[in-house]
Chains A and B, each alone.
Chain A
Amino acid sequence: AQSVTQLDSHVSVSEGTPVLLRCNYSSSYSPSLFWYVQHPNKGLQLLLKYTSAATLVKGINGFEAEFKKSETSFHLTKPSAHMSDAAEYFCVVSNTGGFKTIFGAGTRLFVKA
């Protein structure tokens, strides 16, 4: 069985400060893990993905995430928030068989000027 938990429903940061969006997962298989971003009334955009290669994954727009098997975590970080980062972020787990994709509940990121 697979599940994914995003620990914060809302995160608020000031522009220029670091961003941390937390995600824990459970999986019976070696998982593939993804972070997606969704801007209002838009579809999903892939930020980054982990598929059993390097544990530190770099994505688009300065985001990165570290896969920590011992902690079953895949937290998303960015050194310096920008106003355009304000959006909904989803952590996603998929087994390597590829036929089940489970979404976290989402974390809404607010960026203050």
Chain B
Amino acid sequence: GAVVSQHPSRVICKSGTSVKIECRSLDFQATTMFWYRQFPKQSLMLMATSNEGSKATYEQGVEKDKFLINHASLTLSTLTVTSAHPEDSSFYICSARQQGRNTEAFFGQGTRLTVV
């Protein structure tokens, strides 16, 4: 099956710094990537939908200036958490949908962000 690689798997950063998370589709082209956030013991909440070459579409309540998304190529999307605070600590997961395939999305391994 298709593989999505997310990096890093864990990151600890100081409050006020920025953190970049990468999501790569390794063996397919992904025109659309999705970014999710998961709070402890809760489900995944869609943050934004990223389309290659255009601006991301953010879900209601998600600060676009806080969570910067870039989808510069068909195999890479990045999420940058800017000026991170402890409340941004969470599990972030990306998924990618194959070009031409309109149902199944493949998920990355997730990134555990801890802001201290």
Closest-by-CB residue of A relative to B103 is A32
Q: Is A87 an interface residue (CB 8 A)?
A: no
- List residues of chain A with CB within 8 A of the CB of B101: 98
| Alpha-carbon distance between A105 and B110 when the two chains are bound, in angstroms | 18
Contact of B49 among A44, A96, A99, A102 (CB under 8 A): A99
Q: How many residues of A contact B (CB 8 A)?
A: 22
> Is B102 touching A103 in the complex (CB atoms < 8 A)?
no
Residues of A participating in the B interface, judged by any CB pair closer than 8 Å: 32, 34, 36, 41-44, 46, 49, 51, 90, 94, 96-99, 101-106
List which B20-60 residues lie within 8 A (CB) of chain A.
32, 34, 36, 42-46, 49
Q: Is B97 an interface residue (CB 8 A)?
A: yes
Given A103-B43, A105-B42, A49 and B104 contact (CB-CB distance below 8 Å): yes
